[in-house]
Amino acid sequence: MIRNRNILTMSSFTAMFFLGVGAAIIGAASRNIGLSPFQIGLLLAAQNIGFILSVITVGTLADSADKARLLFAASFILAVSFFFFYQNDAFILNLGIMLIIGVGIGGYEGAADAMLLDIHQRRQSLFINMNHFFVTVGQLMIVIYLIFLQMDWRKSMVQSAVAVFVLAIIFGLSRVPPRKVVTTESFGKRLAFIGKQRPVLVLFLLASCAVGIEASLIGIITTLLMEFYGFNQVTSKLGLVAFLSGIATGRIVLGVLARDSQQLEYILALFALTAIVLSFLLFASPGTVMAYILLVVSGATISVLFPLTIALAGLKYLEMSGMVMGIIKLGIPVGGIAAPLMFSLCVQAASFKAALVIFPAIGITGFILALTYRKQLAVVSRSEGPINM
């Protein structure tokens, strides 16, 4: 059996890379497939439903079950669904497969970060940041592979399926050493305890804010650059690559700099910086070169907000980290739906330009939330004993 910490860590990073591929495949390949906007919406909705059901279920199981086995199951499900996605043109069939893809990537989100908390006793936030860095790399690679190189998208899915199946074998042969801090409480008692915890709600809202800004900007950057800054089809896509590159770079650099004891301070500072940088990017009408610079910087300031929030949740509730992180990660679909919806409603009510104020406002909201509940969000030293339920 594989118990080596380095192998398990690299396997987790690889899993998150393919999570990024699965999350971005519709956006990258929709034109190649020939999907209508209505069909794209249904496929993304199905993926989010699968993700929601899976991330909370796997996150809860991760507190008691071997995380390597959970990741094996998620890998096997994802490999099969990647292989069969649009092998047949029947839309209803592929809608079901997309639901299963959501289950697979939700399984990765539910167990991978929790596994890293178990196998690393120091710098957990760094490893979680690196985990989510590979999500961004996966998104970047599938965009480059399918859009810029114009490769056969079905071939890429088969290749991904084979790679994820190999990953399933590795997880199937692995075992995660049992955590030193465990809870013996029933699911119902844990859920009742978490339901009374105001910090869990605040962390969920912070995660939703972080994901909402990131997901919305990924969706509108090319349109924004072409609409207001005179970019063309090629340069606007380069702008999106600059933003994603800023996210990837930030997750490495800021992940290395941020210590576990400094997570909350970084979250506060980066929400404030996000609001400031986005105000310049969206309303100061910068020139082309400055726009690229601000895209990279804004990507960097946003980059670690979600991973640090997840790491903070896991360390604060270490005895039930899988369940708590699973609940916090529900902020991915919630933020990914709520922020774009608010933006669309504001566009309808006012204008595209006026609606952009939503994004600095979300940054300010995140800052105020973290500042208001700063004491409640502080992580209690492990030496102070376990949580009393």
pLDDT in tens, 142-178: 777 766 665 577 888 899 999 999 999 999 999 887 6
Among candidates 340, 131, 329, which has minimal Cα distance to 248? Answer: 131
- Ramachandran bin of 34, using left for φ above 0, alpha for ψ from -120 to 50, beta for the remaining angles: left
Using an 8 Å Cβ cutoff, are 366 and 271 in contact? yes
259-287 pLDDT, tens digit each:
878 889 999 999 999 999 999 999 887 88
CB 121 within 8 A of CB 14: no
* Mean pLDDT of all residues in 24-28: 76
Q: Token pair of 130, please?
A: 């690196």
The answer to whether residues 332 and 212 touch, using CB atoms and an 8 Å cutoff, is no
C-beta separation of 274 from 305 below 8 A: yes
What confidence score (pLDDT) does residue 186 get? 67
Coil vs helix vs strand at 174: strand
Say which residue the tokens 């939700």 belong to: 106
| 49 burial level (CB within 10 Å; 0-12, 13-18, 19+) | middle
Average pLDDT score over residue span 87-99: 92
Confidence (pLDDT) at 384? 41
Residues 6 or more apart whose CB falls under 8 angstroms from that of 121 comprise none
pLDDT over 90 at 184, yes or no: no
Question: Are 264 and 374 a contacting pair, CB within 8 Å?
Answer: yes
Q: Is 148 helix (H, G, I), strand (E, B) or coil?
A: helix
pLDDT bracket for residue 359 (50, 70, 90) = very high
Q: Using N-to-C axis directions, what is the helix angle for 37-61 and 5-33, rounded to 10°?
A: 160
pLDDT at 156: 82
Backbone angles phi, psi at 103, to 5 degrees: -65, -45
Q: What is the overall mean pLDDT for the chain?
A: 86
Ramachandran class of 85: left when φ > 0, alpha when ψ lies in -120 to 50, beta otherwise: beta
Match 């209505």 to its residue by tokens. 38
- Exposed/middle/buried for residue 385 (C-beta within 10 Å: 0-12, 13-18, 19+): exposed
Question: How far apart are the C-alpha atoms of 170 and 5, rounded to whole Å?
Answer: 13
- Looking at residue 37, its pLDDT comes to 64
Structure tokens at 112: 């991978």
pLDDT surpassing 70 at residue 119: yes
Domains of the chain: 5-180 (1.20.1250.20), 193-382 (1.20.1250.20)
Supply the pLDDT for residue 181.
53
Q: Is the pLDDT of residue 371 over 90?
A: yes
pLDDT digits (tens, 9 = 90+) for 273-328: 999 999 999 988 788 899 999 999 999 999 999 999 999 998 888 878 888 988 99
Is residue 138 within 8 A of residue 131, CB to CB? The reply is: no
Give the phi and the psi of residue 205 in degrees, each rounded to 5: -65, -40
pLDDT value of residue 72: 96
| Structural contact between residues 207 and 331, judged by C-beta atoms closer than 8 angstroms | yes
What pLDDT is recorded for position 45? 83
Q: What token pair was written down for 287?
A: 């020139």
The terminus-to-terminus CA distance of the chain in angstroms comes to 35
Q: Which residues contact 155 (CB under 8 A, 6 or more apart)?
A: none
Q: What are the φ and ψ backbone dihedral angles of 2, each rounded to 5 degrees?
A: -85, 120
Write the CA distances from 19 to 75, 107, 237, 325, 357, integer angstroms.
10, 10, 22, 17, 30
Two tokens, residue 74: 């998620």
CA atoms within 13 A on the CB side of 325: 34
Span 37-56, pLDDT tens digits: 678 878 888 888 999 999 98
- Any idea how long the chain is? 389
Helices (H), the chain: 5-33, 37-61, 67-84, 91-119, 124-143, 153-172, 187-195, 198-228, 233-257, 263-283, 288-303, 305-316, 321-328, 331-349, 352-355, 358-372, 374-377
Mean pLDDT of 71-100: 94
C-alpha to C-alpha distance for 389 and 378, rounded to whole angstroms: 18
Reported confidence tier of residue 385, pLDDT bands at 50, 70, 90: very low
Cα–Cα distance measured from residue 263 to residue 240, given in angstroms and rounded to the nearest whole number: 27
Give the whole-angstrom CA distance, residue 117 versus residue 128: 8
- pLDDT at residue 99 tops 90: yes
DSSP state of 317: T
